[in-house]
Structure 1
């Protein structure tokens, strides 16, 4: 079992999340009542949607982690799951993502479009058929 499949299985049990087809068309996604929250694009790469304010709030901490990539102008951060601690980080950030719209709403109230997979995050795409 890969780290991503383990994280997906665990997150799929959370009552505020449900499995969904990703709007970007690649991999698997989980949604909340606020919309898509996480996309599993490969056995190691996950995009997570946060508000702009939440990304800015945590940007310094994200910069200190080799597991997280921020794409300028995106409400999505990309996590690379290389170790069990990266899964723990993902679970924590999904919890933040579920609360972020209430804590740090987007002042422009812009629609969420795409994810980092469509914004050149630089990670290799992979089919999750066996995932």
Structure 2
């Protein structure tokens, strides 16, 4: 089982998340009642809608995480899953994303801006996620 599939399976069991088709049409996605939270694009690559506000608050910490890639102007972060610790990091960041989505209304233009996959600014892809 790939790291992304293990992470997706764990997250899909959370009561606030459900599986859906991603708006970018690549891979699989999880959403909350307030919108898309995560896009699983490949066996190792995940885009997470952390929100612009959460990225501003956590930016310094996110920049030092080797598994995290920030894209200027994006409210999504890209996460490369290469070890079990990266799954744990993803779990923590999804929890923060859910809190951010519920605590502060996410502006419509941020919701429709699209994930980093749509911006062409993700990690180089090695294996397509067969979902």
- TM-score after normalising by structure 1: 0.91
- In the other structure, the counterpart of 1:66 is 66
Please list, as runs of the form range in 1=range in 2, the aligned pairs for 1:1-131 lying within 5 A after superposition: 1-106=1-106, 110-113=109-112, 114-125=114-125, 126-129=127-130
Distance apart, 1:110 and its partner CA: 2.9
Deviations 1:18-58 (A, max 9, x none): 00000000000000001100000000100000121100111
2-side partners of 1:67 and 1:17: how far apart? 23
Contact 2:34-2:102 within 8 A present in 1 as well: no
Helix, strand or coil at the partner of 1:110: helix
Would you identify which runs of 4 or more consecutive aligned residues in structure 1 move more than 4 Å? Answer: none
Deviations 1:85-115 (A, max 9, x none): 0000000110111110344545x55341210
1-side partners of 2:110 and 2:83: how far apart? 33
2-side partners of 1:64 and 1:127: how far apart? 27
Helix, strand or coil at the partner of 1:89: helix
Contact 1:21-1:29 within 8 A present in 2 as well: yes
Contact 2:38-2:49 within 8 A present in 1 as well: yes
2-side partners of 1:28 and 1:86: how far apart? 18
Give the gaps of 5 or more residues in structure 2: none
Give the gaps of 5 or more residues in structure 1: none
Contact 2:39-2:47 within 8 A present in 1 as well: yes
2-side partners of 1:102 and 1:128: how far apart? 29
- TM-score after normalising by structure 2: 0.91
